[in-house]
């Protein structure tokens, strides 16, 4: 896991820096599925985006404006503290294993340094499962690279749907998504 985190950090820092220097208009892929009485717009969203990257315009805005409902993978969580019980249920190792028990002493020391460099509390994350720590570390790396969840597609679309009175639903609940992540092989 440490090696994957380090590779992700290196790739993100190399790939993100030039892209963030000069935001340009993004024209995301948008698919249309129709039958006689229904039109569905399929749009893949990105959770973290650079500030001031225009994307919610042209075809995406037209599709949004023509829609009655916004259906997303997962609804944005307004209160992250509300996920506490779910984290305790699914992200804490049920066998009580720590990251120190999962890694060699050398890899654990490098893992702790990496988390400290990111500003994450390695000691507090120690009892959590690798998938959860990886999600937290990736989120911090994205933010350090200048990407922001507040300007990600989900946040922007949710705010627009609320303002326009559209119904907002999701394909998954946080518990379903955490359960899926928790079931992946270590």
Express each pLDDT in 22-63 by its tens digit.
557 888 999 999 999 999 999 888 899 998 899 999 999 999
d(CA 67, CA 166): 8
Of residues 68 and 20, more confidence is placed in: 68
> For residue 48, what are the CA distances in angstroms to 118, 139, 147, 149, 150?
17, 8, 5, 4, 8
Provide mean pLDDT across the span 14-22.
48
Q: Which residues are CB-neighbours of 134 under 8 A, at least 6 positions away?
A: 1, 4, 5
Express each pLDDT in 167-181 by its tens digit.
999 999 999 999 999
Contact in structure between 45 and 158 (CB atoms under 8 Å): no
- pLDDT surpasses 70 at 11: no
Contact in structure between 157 and 179 (CB atoms under 8 Å): no
- pTM given for the model: 0.79
Contact in structure between 40 and 32 (CB atoms under 8 Å): yes
Of residues 4 and 78, more confidence is placed in: 78
Express each pLDDT in 133-158 by its tens digit.
999 999 999 999 999 999 999 999 99
Q: How far is CA 72 from the centre of its chain?
A: 13
The half-sphere exposure of 56 on its side-chain side, counting CA atoms within 13 A, is 18
d(CA 151, CA 184): 29
């Amino acid at each position: 896991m440490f090696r994957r985190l380090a590779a992700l950090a290196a790739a993100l820092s190399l790939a993100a820096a030039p892209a963030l220097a000069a935001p340009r208009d993004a024209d995301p892929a948008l698919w249309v599925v129709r039958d006689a009485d229904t039109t569905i717009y399929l749009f893949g969203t990105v959770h973290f985006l650079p500030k001031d990257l225009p994307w919610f315009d042209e075809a995406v805005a037209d599709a949004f404006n023509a829609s009655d409902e916004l259906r997303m993978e997962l609804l944005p969580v307004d209160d992250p503290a509300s996920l506490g019980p779910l984290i305790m249920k699914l992200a804490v190792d049920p066998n009580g294993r720590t990251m120190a028990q999962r890694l060699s002493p050398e890899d654990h020391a490098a893992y702790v340094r990496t988390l400290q460099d990111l500003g994450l509390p390695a000691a507090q994350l120690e009892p959590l499962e690798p998938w959860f720590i990886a999600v937290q570390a990736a989120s911090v790396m994205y933010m350090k690279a200048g990407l922001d969840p507040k300007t990600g597609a989900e946040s922007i679309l949710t705010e627009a749907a609320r303002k326009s009175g559209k119904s907002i639903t999701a394909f998954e609940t946080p518990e379903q998504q955490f359960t899926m992540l928790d079931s992946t092989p270590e």
